[in-house]
Copies of this chain bind each other. A is one copy, B any other.
Amino acid sequence: MDKQTITIYDVAREANVSMATVSRVVNGNPNVKPTTRKKVLEVIDRLDYRPNAVARGLASKKTTTVGVIIPDVSNTYFSSLARGIDDVATMYKYNIILANSDGNDQKEISVLNTLLAKQVDGIIFMGHHITEALRGEFSRSKTPIVLAGSIDEDKQVGSVNIDYEEATKDAVRLLAKNGNQKIAFVSGSLRDPINGQKRLKGYKDALKEANLTYTEGLVFESTYSYKEGIKLAERIKNSGATAAVVTDDEVAVGILNTLTDSGVKVPEDFELVTSNNSLLTEIARPQVSSITQPLYDVGAVSMRLLTKLMNKEEMEERTVVLPYGLAEKNSTK
């Protein structure tokens, strides 16, 4: 009953050659006489033969598939990276298996293992905090791995990021220059080294530079959501801060809208700089000044780097740092 699938063997028979020759034709191997190639191609076309990628994968030990571990595709930050990843993957004839982890330590490990079981040729990992266990899995596996928009001290794997520390510093500098004495730092989990180490350090350093004192009371940790921003607004206002650097656009806009709705004038009474320069910053009124990150490129470059690792190409540096910018809009003076 099954519309039986036609195999390389069928093609070989019809074309009066061996499977080996068909395989060579399919793989563009040059050691085939032009006339033979033509004959085989005709049969392939006539039978509408399509090589079974699974069988190929088994025989060649290459699946032309890479695994992508992502906290949440429906989050624009990550989906922008994902888009960059897929575009470059496609360019190099790879497909991506996309797996959401919710940034959950357990899921990250289990998903990593299923990806390895599926024999992906490489892995791109996006996450917040890399646990010791995960790091262990990373080094155990001989499959190349690249971190995209995620950092880890252990430089065993490749990674692509921007200089979060300097970027945050620039943002705080701007706020300090504008005369703010109390600048809040509103970030996601400080467990994420991007926040807890890089950005926080940038914040502290910039304060010091401006002769401002660091107080824990001005540091706010939150989850990434608009609602969280709304909740936070009151507390930030009460802290006496007159400005804030925020690491997430949703949170930033939540704060902005809440303050504005309660009569606070932005930027006159309160200044705000956020970090991802997403569409939200354009839509909000006033528009929100923001650090700009080349998200798509971070993804694209990660995948490019991964292709090099998969090809075992020699390379200078596997830790890439992309340039960032600062877009001054209307939430800063």
Contacts and interface: CB of A to CB of B under 8 A. Distances in A.
B83 A72 contact: yes
A315 interface: no
A35 interface: no
- Assign chain A's interface to a size class: 35 or more
B73 A79 contact: yes
Interface stretch (A47-55, A123-131, A147-155, A205-213): A47-55
A283 B282 contact: no
A86 B57 contact: no
Interface in A52-100: 52-55, 57-58, 63, 65, 68, 72-74, 76, 79-80, 82-83, 86-87, 90, 95-100
Interface string A181-223: 0000000000000000000000000000000000000000000
A97 B53 CA distance: 14
A142 interface: yes
Interface of A: 2-3, 50-55, 57-58, 63, 65, 68, 72-74, 76, 79-80, 82-83, 86-87, 90, 95-100, 113-119, 142, 226, 250, 253, 257, 279-280, 282-285, 296
